[in-house]
């Protein structure tokens, strides 16, 4: 809560520019996640680029669910999961369920993890990412009615764990500057 909001009294309504700024800062986590997902879908010529999409999406949903849960509510996570399914050519519902579970775990562990250091948050994400990769593999196998090879799921879990530190540096900087609603 900002200092001027704690002082009782009559204040004028915020201007249109200020309200738009607050709304943009509040929607930044979801918007930045969508933009990262679309960036992963561009033909960049990177080997195994298709595996970047779930890795980036998992990392962004986990981060924003931990540090800005009000800006990443379950309906937004549902829509992000649907977009993940469509962009990643996954069976419809597998990305939705996976992201909702990641969001739920992050929200449940939020109080404990936000008080810990980066290494603890990263280790928790490694466990969540491995579980999410296994769940995506299982759901894809189940919904396609054939057993998929586990190699790509292991690669996705490893890439997701390795990608989180680099992505979290960018997201932490955005969380402290651009996306901070108290700076509006």
Q: How far apart are alpha carbons 93 and 12 in whole angstroms?
A: 46
Flag whether 79 is in a domain: yes
- Evaluate the CA torsion angle 55, 60, 63, 66 in order and state its sign: negative
Look at residue 39 in the predicted model and tell me its pLDDT. Answer: 92
Tell me phi and psi for residue 4, to 5 degrees: -70, -20
Look at residue 93 in the predicted model and tell me its pLDDT. Answer: 93
Q: Which domain holds residue 83?
A: 15-183
Look at residue 58 in the predicted model and tell me its pLDDT. Answer: 96
Cβ–Cβ under 8 Å, residues 139 and 91: yes
Count other Cβ atoms within 10 Å, centred on residue 101: 16
Look at residue 51 in the predicted model and tell me its pLDDT. Answer: 86
Q: How far apart are alpha carbons 92 and 176 in whole angstroms?
A: 35
Flag whether 176 is in a domain: yes
Q: How far apart are alpha carbons 109 and 117 in whole angstroms?
A: 14
Flag whether 3 is in a domain: no
Flag whether 8 is in a domain: no
Q: How far is CA 70 from CA 74, 134, 180, in A?
A: 10, 28, 12
Look at residue 4 in the predicted model and tell me its pLDDT. Answer: 56
Query: Measured at the alpha carbon of residue 69, what is the angle toward residues 67 and 62, in degrees to the nearest 5?
Result: 65
The number of distinct structural domains making up the chain is 1
- Evaluate the CA torsion angle 21, 26, 31, 33 in order and state its sign: positive
Residues in the chain: 184
pLDDT per 10-residue tile (average), the chain, 184 residues: 63 81 88 94 83 94 94 96 93 95 95 93 96 95 92 93 95 83 64
What's this model's pTM, rounded to 2 decimal places?
0.88
């Amino acid at each position: 809560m900002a200092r001027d909001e704690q002082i009782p009294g009559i204040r004028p309504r915020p201007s249109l520019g200020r309200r738009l700024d607050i709304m943009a800062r509040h929607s930044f986590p979801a918007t930045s996640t969508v933009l990262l997902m679309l960036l992963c879908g561009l033909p960049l010529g990177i080997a195994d680029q298709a595996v970047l999409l779930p890795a980036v999406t998992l990392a962004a949903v986990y981060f924003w669910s931990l540090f800005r849960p009000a800006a990443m509510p379950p309906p937004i996570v549902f829509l992000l999961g649907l977009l993940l399914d469509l962009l990643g050519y996954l069976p419809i519902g597998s990305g939705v369920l996976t992201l909702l579970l990641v969001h739920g775990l992050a929200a449940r562990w939020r109080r404990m993890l936000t008080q810990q250091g980066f290494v603890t948050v990263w280790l928790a994400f490694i466990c969540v990412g491995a579980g999410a990769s296994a769940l995506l593999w299982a759901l894809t196998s189940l919904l396609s009615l054939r057993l998929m090879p586990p190699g790509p799921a292991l690669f996705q879990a490893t890439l997701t764990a390795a990608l989180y530190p680099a992505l979290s540096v960018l997201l932490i900087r955005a969380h402290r500057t651009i996306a901070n609603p108290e700076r509006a």
